[in-house]
Amino acid sequence: MQNLKKYWLNKWLRVSSLSLASFLLVPAAKAQSIAAGLQTAAGTAGLPGGADADLGLMIGRIIGSLMGIIGSLLFLYMLYGGFRWMTAGGDAAAVTKAVSIIKNAIIGIMIIVFAYTLSNFVVTRLASVAGEPPAPPSGSGGGETCPYSCATQSDIEAAQDLGLVISCQSSSACPAGTQCCDFASP
């Protein structure tokens, strides 16, 4: 029985290592940059993009991503505890250990939710104290909306280099330093 466990563990480690290596050893694509298109799409969706993103927004995104990853790991830990409980086979010590794993995972998830709420509150308050009010919801801005894309000067120049037809106008819906632009194919 012990040899069978070692065999499957060894096999699983080899397959996992090869899978990870296959993702890490993929050569980089030598494709054209799509930064202008991504910024245009972000502007159309009402999202800040590229150079418009400020430090507070970037930190908030990093914190949110880390909390999401940790929360996912804790959820997997809770599933592991459930698996241990289902495979305990009536062993009281194994059931107690599994219940302990599940309780710890639930406590961890609650801590992550609390930490996310607290960090979101603190970042929002710091932004308002620093004179940078939080970004309005997508698509709003002084009662006016930009039906196209909020584009920076570098976006406009990149679109001109690509030969796109550009029609721009000033709009209070777009952040400072950007214009409401329609990018169309020639």
Tokens 């909390």 sit at which residue? Answer: 67
pTM strictly above 0.75: no
End-to-end Cα spacing for the chain:
70
Tally the C-alpha atoms within 13 A of residue 5's C-alpha that lie toward its C-beta: 2
Instruction: List pLDDT tens digits, range 29-85.
Output: 666 666 667 777 776 766 655 555 566 677 777 888 888 899 899 999 999 999 999
Tell how far CA 14 is from the center of its chain: 30
Tally the C-alpha atoms within 13 A of residue 76's C-alpha that lie toward its C-beta: 6
Determine the Cα–Cα distance for residues 152 and 51; give it in Å rounded to an integer: 9
Instruction: List pLDDT tens digits, range 135-161.
Output: 444 444 444 666 666 777 777 777 777
